[in-house]
Amino acid sequence: MENFLLWVFYVMTFYAFLPGVISRTFGFRVFKRGRVEKEIALTFDDGPDSQYTPQLLDLLKRYNAKATFFVVGSHAEKQPGLLRRMKDEGHDIGIHNYVHKSNWLMRPKTVRRQIEKTNAIIETATGERSNYYRPPWGIVNLFDYSNMGYLQIILWSSLFGDWRIRVGAERLQRRMMKKLRPGEVLLLHDCGKTFGADEAAPHNMLIALEAYLKQGMKQGYSFVNISQMIRLTDASWKPSLMKRTVISLWLLWERAFHAAFRLKQVGEGDKPSFHYRVTTYNGQSVEFADGGAIGKGDVVAELHFDNGMLSSIAARYKSPLAAGLRVIREVEHALPQLARQLAEDPDASNIKAVYGVTMIHRGADRLGFEVFNLPDGLFARSTNVYLRLLTKVLTPSDSGNRRKDRNKRLKEATSPRMLLMPVHRIRQYAAAGLDNLQGGNADLLRAPIDRTIAGTGDESAVISSKTTAL
C-alpha cells in the first residue's frame, strides 16, 4: 500500500503538479502578460450567461473596450446568439473546456475531446474556430502541451476572487485599481454557475469593472482583446543585453569565417544579401531536371546568407512565412548581380552549379533553383541542429513559446534543404536579368510574395541560415 501511494504521488507530481507550477511561475508555453505601453487585456471565464453576459457586452460597448471570453462549451451551446455578438463586436472567444472540470482529473484524450467539442460549438455559432485555450483554474497537465497543437494557452497576470459574492463590489474595485497597469491580463468571471462560484457574484464584478474602465479611460488606457495584446507585445520586442551580446558575437564569428574561407560579398553595398566562395562539391550525385548532373569533386559556387540581413528581417516580420518570402525577394534582387560577378570572377570560370543549404526554400524553385532533401546522415542532422540554434540567436523570443505550438507545416517549411542551380541557368541572369529570364513573368512571383507578406503578420518569425547556406 505504501509503494502504491508513493507511485500515485510520483505520477501526480510529474503529470499535474510540476507542469502547473512551471507554467504559472515561468510562463512556460503560455501567455500571461503583455509588454505594452497603455493597453490592458480583459478576459472573462465560465460564460456565457444569459443574464450577466449581455450586461457585460453592453458595458464594454459603452467604453469601446474589447475583451476575450473563455467560454464553457456546455454554456456556450445554449447561447449561440451571444457568441455571435461577441465576435461581431470585436471580442475574442477562447475555449474553457466543455465542462468546468480540472485537467488534473481528466485523461489527455478526454481533455482533447472537451476542447474539440467546445471549438465546434464556437465554429458553428461564429463561423470561426478559436485559437486560444484557458484550462479551468489555469491547471495544465503534462500532456496539455502536446494536446494543444494549434492553440495558444492563455493564463493571466491578475485575478481578484470575483467569483465569491462576499468579496463585494467595493473591495473588488479596490483590488482591481491596484492592477491598473499596462500589460495586465485580468481574469474576471461573467457567470457564477460553476462549482465553487456564487451565482450572483457577476453583479459585483460589473459594478467594479465599470469604475475600473472609467478610471482607465481617464488615464489614457485602452482595453484590448488577447489577439491585440499578443500582436503589440510581439511588435515591442527588443533584445535583452544578453541577446544583443550573443548576436554581436555570432556576427563577429561570421566575419571571421568569411575572412578565413575568403568569402566574397555579392554587390558593393554595406548590407549584402549573401556571399559566396568557389569550392568543391562533396555531396551525393544529383541530376538536374533539364539534363546534366553534379557529383562529388565538381566545382561549385557555395552561397551564404548574410546573417546581419537575416536578423534585421526576423525583427521586422512576425510571420515565418512572411519573413522567409522577404528573404526570397532579397535573393531575387541579388541574383543578377551574383550572376554578373561570377561571370567576371576567374576563379568561377569552371563552376558547374550554384549551391547552398538552407531552411528558407519556399519559392526558391520560382527563381530557378532545384530543391533537394538532404541525405540522412551526420551532416543533415548537424545542419538541422545548427540552423535551429541560429534561429534562437537571430530571432525574437515569442510570448509563451508560441513558435513551438504552430502546426506541422511550419516545421516542414523550416527543415533544411539543399538548393542547386545549374551554371547555364545562373548565366542567363547575367545575360538577361530576372524579368527577361522569366519572359515577363516576374510579377507572377512578386504578387503572391507581396500578398503573403502583407497577410501573415500574426505569427512569430522563424528565419535562419547556416553559415554554409543560401
Which phi and psi angles does 291 have, rounded to 5°? 100, 160
By the 10 Å C-beta count (0-12 exposed, 13-18 middle, 19+ buried), 356 is classed as buried
First to last CA, the chain: 62
DSSP result, 447-458: HHHHHHHHH--S
CA dihedral 347, 351, 354, 355 (to 10 degrees): -90
Please state, as a whole number, how many other Cβ atoms lie within 10 Å of the Cβ of residue 307. Answer: 23
| HEC readout, 350-393 | CCCEEEEEECCCCCHHHHCCEEEECCCCHHHHHHHHHHHHHHHH
For 90-120, letters b (16+ CB in 10 Å) and e give bbbbbbbbbbbbbbbebeeeebbebbebbbe
SS3 at position 275: strand
Place of cell 512578386: 446
Smallest CA-to-CA distance from 396 within 320, 326, 321, 309 is with 320
Catalytic residues: 45, 189
Asked if 209 and 52 touch (Cβ cutoff 8 Å), the reply is no
DSSP state of 395: S
Beta strands in 16-154 (DSSP E): 30-31, 39-45, 68-71, 92-95, 132-133, 152-154
Report phi then psi at 348, rounded to 5: -100, 15
Contact predicate 196/36, CB 8 Å: no
> How far apart, in Å, are the Cα atoms of 123 and each of 83, 95, 108, 223, 310?
10, 11, 22, 25, 38
Could you give the C-alpha distances from 97 to 79, 174, 246, 406, 448, in angstroms and in order?
16, 31, 41, 21, 38
Task: Please say whether the beta carbons of 120 and 76 come within 8 A.
Answer: no
Measure Cα distances from 109 to 9, 106, 115, 132 in Å.
22, 8, 10, 19
Helices (H), 52-107: 52-62, 73-76, 80-88
